[in-house]
Copies of this chain bind each other. A is one copy, B any other.
Amino acid sequence: MPAASIRARARAEMINEIKAIARRHLAAEGANLSLRAVARDMGMVSSAIYRYFPSRDELLTALIVDGYHALGDAVEAGDAEVTDRADLRGRWLAVCHAVRRWALTQPAEYALLFGSPVPGYAAPQETTVAAARTPAALSRILVDGLAAGILTDPGPAELPGPVHADLAAVRDHLFAGVPEALLARGAAGWIHCFGAVSFELFGQLNGVIEAREEFFDHQMRRMVDLIGLP
């Protein structure tokens, strides 16, 4: 038993070191991650990496899942810092800013998660549960608001039928307790947050907006108004 676990432990450390170096390369060079360069940095030959990851895509998947969890951690930490749990507005803004801060410190990883998909690469199912953590954190704010009586269901009147059906289907196993119409508003907020961060990170704001943080904050504040957070 201890013998096997010694091997298993060495293997796990190897995998972590590979991922760590790969993340460094990702940050330095962007999405076209080179297995050979990672191997060089580890003092190994490229083929040795294949003992630990069956392909470059599997390495990417591991990095993506890690990335979603890192973002989820950052987002949940940002939310938790707001001591007044009834301050829905403050919590929402805290989450948005946490997303942006994380994206700015890990631009390559953010691009890996939310940027153009890698051509030959299809994200496997296992990434979706990790990907849902941030939207889940946002929906928790809405749930708390409903439970505390601060928010009320806007009613399905403002939703087109098919959208209502989609949201109803997804609500039960991802965002339990949020009425569809409110969920649609939340989606708008999440989309706007993602859009603003991507705009900034992907260079669309270059030469236009210099006060990035103030601009982002203003955009998010206008959005919480639209969502209806008091």
Contact = CB atoms under 8 A, between A and B. Distances in A.
A47 interface: no
A160 B208 contact: no
A174 B204 CA distance: 14
A29 to B, nearest CB: 6
Interface in A185-230: 185, 187-188, 191-192, 194-196, 198-199, 202-204, 206-211, 214-215, 217-219, 222-223, 225-226
A56 B136 CA distance: 42
A64 to B, nearest CB: 11
A114 B128 CA distance: 23
Interface string A119-142: 110010000100100000000000
A37 interface: no
A117 to B, nearest CB: 6
Nearest to A118: B30
Contacts of A226: 222, 225-226
B32 A202 contact: no
Interface of A: 29-32, 111-112, 114-120, 123, 128, 131, 159-163, 165-167, 170, 174, 184-185, 187-188, 191-192, 194-196, 198-199, 202-204, 206-211, 214-215, 217-219, 222-223, 225-226
